[in-house]
Chains A and B, each alone.
Chain A
Amino acid sequence: MANTNMGKTITAKAQNKKAFGLKLKIFKDKKTNFYVGLGITAFFLLITIVGYFWTPYNPNAMDVDAKYSAMSFTHLFGCDNFGRDIFSRVVSGLGTTFFVGLGTVLIGGLVGIIIGAICGYFGGLVDEIGMRIMDALYAFPSLLLALVFVSLLGSGKYQVIIALGIAFIPSFSRIVRAEYMRCRDLDYVKSARLFGASHFRVIFVHILPNITPVLVSSAIIGFNNAVLAEAGLSFLGIGVQPPDASLGEMLSSAQSFLFSTPWYALCPGIVMIIMILGVSLMAEGVE
């Protein structure tokens, strides 16, 4: 038993990388990474918040005369095949994208923390059962798993959040479990137990605050993945329902106009790339 446990105790960092895949390293200095990332993210967040109250045009308003119009000062990013202002749609799409990303991290993170904490803290049979279930979930690529849930729940913004949230539980729970396994035998935990603290208190009051750095970093990376997954689902036509805008949905509808109206695909695409870059840099910096 002790042997197998040893084998499983991989460091949280390695685990983190394994669970969330590739990360970016542009600036040598972690701090620069973080601040540049934070700057980009804050910029987009600001645009999103402003866009919630005001966009240059109504993102769903159609204008026959503006169909396919190119980038100009009247229409910053041009117009799509319905004559809708692409800039306004990108802004409102960013909102959807942020919302889905946060919602997903919230669901996946919350459930993942609970499962991971219990498994990691108690170990033994509880751990075996919990982690084997997570392994089974983890065996599916998360997008595929989300696809299954979307087909069960139906398509739409909220369904996508639930589906992605569920799909993201295993990766969160693994990271949290590894951290709890590392922490459960540390002196401060032992002394808390000696003072008579309950398991519940030890798990959530003593250990949880101590693993926040890891949690924050994985939440940020999780957010990034959720944004990409949402774009993927919307691209496949099962995410956000038209006429609501999301970056993935816009990319999907832009497909047929790649040659005649290239800015339709390029604008949401580039915005998404920059946003993901910003969040990734921030995650890199946090570590």
Chain B
Amino acid sequence: MKKKLIAFLTVFATLTIALGGCSGDKTGGSSNDESSIIIGIPQDLEESLDPHDAVAAGTKEILFNIYEGLVKPDSDGNMIPAVASSYELDAEGKTYTFTLRDGVKFHDGTLVTAEDVVYSLSRCADTSLGEPLVPAFSNIESVEKKDDKTVAVTLVTPDTDFIAELTVAIIPEHNADPDSVSIGTGPYKYVSRSIQDNIVLTRFDEYWGTKANIKDITLKVIADSDMIVTNLQSGAIDMICRITTEQAKQIENLDYNVVEGTMNLVQAMYLNNAVEPFNDVRVRQALCYAVNRQEILDIGFDGKGTIVGSSMFPAFGKYYMPELSEYYGYDIQKAKDLLAEAGYPNGFKMSITVPSNYTQHVDTAQIIVEQLSKIGVDASINLVEWETWVSDTYVGRNFEATVVGVDASTLTAPSMLNRFVSDNGKNFINFSNEEYDIQFACAKSYTNDADKTAAFKKCEEILTQEAANVYIQDMSCLVAINNKYDGYVFYPMYVQDFSTLYVK
């Protein structure tokens, strides 16, 4: 979550002016083979392009086009085979056996071998420097090469969701300097970069799967969010992701299409379930009844966004329960009754902590304050710096309520639901419910998918019934794209896939 929010921070809060430089020369774009596109990105990539070291969400989403793992997510969030052509999980749920795809080539022309796979996974699981590069890999017992085409990954404890972690990039063992020499297996290969200005990618013609449509991609760094509209107006960039509704309005009449997807997070007023008065379920429910979610969307987000009712967003597909969004309808009288029942007939005072760099969360909080005043709850907003929010609110859990968005690191139900288990380290709202803990533990232990899904859904229901938080929405995500191009595909996670783009 932190990484994603940091990326947002960069989008919304950077004030540095991007170095102008050349605006890039467009090459017609008529012939498919000479096609090119200039895409604006809100910040430069990290200095190191080593996919295993990347921490910023803004870097990872670009590296998605250059590197691939044994499996990779598709636009529905399913794990599809990539470098591996198939895999098997033993009955115990402990050993994953991968069969490597034939003829997968690295960008330097060499074939991917089982050694490269073992090297890449072992590199991420290496604990000699403390925490492994991929934290979830601490569950790996061994990575073994069975034969030239087979690799087995054995876990310490069984985990049927572990496949989602095996998206880590496969890199060649012979690359001595992955920091600066970027060699992967993805649909695009790295060409060059100029710090704080641009990154150039080109199509990898020997890609194993469906080859990318557009040949050359230039990623232009636009660090100043105020410059986005100017760049679009002047035609200096053809596409940019995550613009605000305000910016979208300003380019309405230009040659751009604004496509709408979702941010894939759960924006909510998270309540500290351990402090008064939020330790009373009736108070929490009263707040849920008093907050008019549709009005928040209408006032703050031009009506865009999807109302959610639990800690799960639509991209999760089978785990998502749309019916929960209607569990608490807007009902002032019910809210007042519940408050009176809980012993607060005249309301109470509360403070909502909001990280100040997120305009959309601050806006939401302002609307909530106004709505809560109707049931006599006198809420005030406490704006804090992002770092303070992380240390005091998230880690220190010293807050009453906070409006933020929580996203998922992988598309597995636990990545959203894990944090509400009583003794979980990330349980910053101090949610504590015995039944939830039992359901969650059961869900994790089931190997049958139907049982597992049912148990996780039960967990979501508990969160809603207990009114753990005032769930609001999965925010919309706007992408501006020149109407010469099309084919932008939204993913249920923080990645950008350039390979599907094409010239109309």
Chain B residues whose C-beta falls within 8 Å of the C-beta of A238 in the assembled complex: 383
The answer on a CB contact under 8 Å between B300 and A257 is: no
In the complex, whether A205 has a CB less than 8 A from a CB of chain B is: no
Flag B235-246 by CB within 8 Å of A: 1 or 0 each. Answer: 000000000101
Would you call A241 and B370 a contact (CB within 8 A)? no
User: Which chain B residues border A83 with CB–CB below 8 Å?
Assistant: 299
A259 within 8 A of B: yes
Q: Are A62 and B246 in contact (CB under 8 A)?
A: no
Given A242-B362, A243-B370, A257-B246: A82 touches B383 (CB 8 Å cut-off)? no
Q: A82-B367, A241-B380, A243-B366 are in contact. Are A60 and B246 (CB under 8 A)?
A: no
**Is A3's CB within 8 Å of the partner chain B?**
no
A238 to B369, CA, bound (A): 19
Residues B366 and A256 in contact, CB atoms below 8 Å apart: no
B-contact 0/1 string along A144-167, CB 8 Å cutoff = 000000000011100000000000
Mask, A88-122, CB within 8 Å of B = 1, is 00000000000000000000000000000000000
CA distance A237 to B365 in the complex (A): 15
Question: Whole-angstrom distance between the alpha carbons of A256 and B300 in the complex?
Answer: 14
Interface residue? B110 (CB, 8 A): no
Q: Given known contacts A62-B299, A64-B299, A260-B249, is B366 in contact with A242 (CB within 8 Å)?
A: yes
The reply to whether the CB of B30 lies closer than 8 angstroms to some CB of chain A is no
Choose one: A62, A156, A256; the contact of B370 (CB below 8 Å).
A62
Cα–Cα distance between A82 and B297 once the two chains are bound (Å): 11
Question: At the interface, yes or no: A211 with Cβ under 8 Å from chain B?
Answer: no
A83 to chain B, nearest CB (A): 6
Instruction: Provide the main secondary structure of the chain B interface.
Output: helix
For A61, list chain B residues within 8 Å (CB): 370
Tell me if B298 is interfacial: C-beta within 8 Å of chain A. Answer: yes
**Interface residues as binary, A58-81 with B (CB distance below 8 Å gives 1, 0 otherwise):** 001110100100000000000001
Q: How far is the CA of A52 from the CA of B359 in the complex (A)?
A: 29
Instruction: Check if A60 sits within 8 Å of B356, measured CB to CB.
Output: no
> A241 to B362, alpha carbons, bound, how many Å?
10
Tell yes or no: B422 within 8 A of A by CB.
no
Contact in complex: B370, A237 (CB < 8 Å): no
Chain B residues in 8 Å Cβ range of A67: 299
Indicate if the CB atoms of A82 and B300 lie closer than 8 Å.
Answer: yes
A242 lies within 8 A of B381 (CB): yes
A154 to B398, CA, bound (A): 14
Contact B369 A243 (CB under 8 A): yes
Q: Once bound together, how far apart are the Cα atoms of A111 and B373, in whole Å?
A: 39
Residues of chain A with a CB closer than 8 A to B249's CB: 260
Q: Tell me if B346 is interfacial: C-beta within 8 Å of chain A.
A: no
Within 8 A of B (CB), among A242-283: 242-243, 256-257, 259-260
Whether A60 and B299, one on each chain, are in contact in the complex, defined by CB atoms closer than 8 angstroms, is: no
Complex Cα spacing A242 to B244, Å: 21
User: Complex formed: what's the CA distance from A64 to B246 in Å?
Assistant: 16
Instruction: Give the chain A neighbours of B373 by CB distance below 8 A.
Output: 60
| Residue pair A60, B370 in contact (C-beta under 8 Å) | yes
Q: A243 to chain B: which residues have CB within 8 Å?
A: 366, 369-370, 381
A156 to B250: give the CA distance in the assembly, Å. Answer: 34
Q: Which of B344-374 contact A (CB under 8 A)?
A: 356, 359, 362-363, 365-367, 369-370, 373
For A60, list chain B residues within 8 Å (CB): 369-370, 373
Please tell me if B382 contacts chain A, counting CB pairs below 8 Å.
Answer: yes
What are 20 A-B contacts defined by CB distance under 8 Å? A60-B369, A60-B370, A60-B373, A61-B370, A62-B295, A67-B299, A82-B299, A82-B367, A154-B382, A156-B382, A237-B383, A241-B380, A241-B381, A243-B369, A243-B381, A256-B244, A257-B246, A259-B250, A260-B246, A260-B249
- In order of increasing CB-CB distance, the 8 nearest A-B pairs are A243-B366, A64-B298, A241-B381, A237-B356, A242-B366, A242-B381, A243-B369, A64-B299
- Partner-A contacts on B (CB < 8 A): 244, 246, 249-250, 295, 298-300, 356, 359, 362-363, 365-367, 369-370, 373, 380-383
9 extra A-B contacts, CB within 8 A, seeds A61-B370, A237-B383, A243-B370: A60-B370, A62-B370, A64-B295, A64-B299, A82-B300, A82-B363, A82-B367, A242-B383, A256-B359
